[in-house]
Structure formats: C-alpha cells, structure tokens
Amino acid sequence: MSLIHALVARGSAILAEHQSGTRDFSQATQTILSKIPPNNSKLTYVWEQYLFHYISEGGYVYLVMADDSAGRRMPFTFLAELQRKFISTAQPSSSSSDTPAYALQGSFGPVIAQLVEQYNTSPPTDELTRAQTELAQVKDIMVQNVEQILSRGERIELLVDKTDNMASQATAFRRGARTVRRSMWWKNKKILALSVVVALVLIWLIVAQFCGAGLNQCGAKKS
C-alpha cells in the first residue's frame, strides 16, 4: 500500500483519521503536527522510510503518511481531494479552536478510509499524468503519420520514376516518328522523281514513233 495514515486536524487536535496496517504511528503523527506552523503551507517531512505530506490552510491540517515510493504528486492530489471533501461535507460551522479531538471520527473517518482505499487500489489520473499520457498518444499518432508520409514518399518516388520512363518513351517515340516521317518524305520524293523519269521516257517513246529515235525526221518534214 502507498498511503498508510491520513487525518484531518485542527492545530494539534486530530478530528478524524484512518490508519492502514497494524503499526501505531500516533507518536510520529503528533510530533509532525506539533511542528506544522499555523500559517498556510504545504510541506513534506521525512521519518524513517516514510514521508509525511500535509496541507495547512484555514486553520485545518490535512496530513497523509505514505511510502517514499509513492512520490509527492499522488499524495498531494489525495490531500487536495480530502480537503475538498472535508470543506463540503464535514467542516464545523463554528470557527472555535477548542473543537474536541476526534469529534468528527464517526462522520468523516469512513470518508477518509474510503478515499485511502481508492487511492491505494486505483488512484485517479492527475493532470500531469493525464497530460503525459495524451502526449504519448500524440507522439504515437505523429510516428504513425510520419510512417504514412514516408510510405507516401516512396509511392511518389515510384510515380516520378514511372513518369520519367513515360517521358523517355515519349521522347523516343517522337524521335522515331520524325525518322519515319523523314524516311517517308525521301521515299515520296524518290517515287515522284521516278514517276517524272518514267513519264519523260513514255513521252520520248511516243514522239520517237513519229519523229524517229533522234527526233530529226519531224524537223525535216517541217522544212
């Protein structure tokens, strides 16, 4: 157990308390209460392997003894809740300082016991722990997002590679098309030239039938 002994006192008079375990810590508790100044304060006293944490406010002292393994945050969170419960349900309406010892043991003692049991079995998450948990969750989410971004980056690189390949293929296609177009142009020119030659030969053959091979007979007939 982390919380061992908790109480509410007015000055050095204990109004209500709860103790877990069988060891008697009443002498140590009274010694600590006698050392607490009357002004508002928060402090931790060390005794053997135990820590006495207290909040003193408005003339009342809220004190809990805990193992040193409990640290300070959880016990002071317990004391803050103990103070809220005491002020809202059990604080005497009279401000007299002569309240008898253990005057609220029957009414508020079970409340202290229940609160100690709650914090020893399943302590609530305080604000700092909650913030740390949320930060850890955010970190996990960020790591997950970074992994997604890296994965997306790999896909983008693959897409860029495919785009580059397509661009290279398009360039090669254009070059091939120009080569084919140039080849077809020369082929058309050759066919046209050949057609002109054939046409000239045909014309020569037709004219040669009437004028002779040297075309001199047509000139002779005219003279």
Domain 3-124 coded CATH 3.40.50.1000 = no
Q: What is the pLDDT of residues 165-211, one digit of tens each?
A: 676 776 777 777 788 788 888 888 888 888 888 888 888 777 777 77
Inter-residue contact 121 to 20 (CB < 8 Å): no
How does pLDDT run across 136-175, given as a tens digit for each residue? 656 555 555 555 555 666 565 666 666 666 767 767 777 7
186/211 Cα distance (integer angstroms): 36
The full set of domain ranges for the chain reads: 3-124
Identity (one letter) of the amino acid at 167?
A: A
Report the distance separating Cα 119 and Cα 124, nearest Å.
7
pTM for this entry: 0.56
CA 196 to chain centre: 82
CB of 4 closer than 8 Å to CB of 29: no
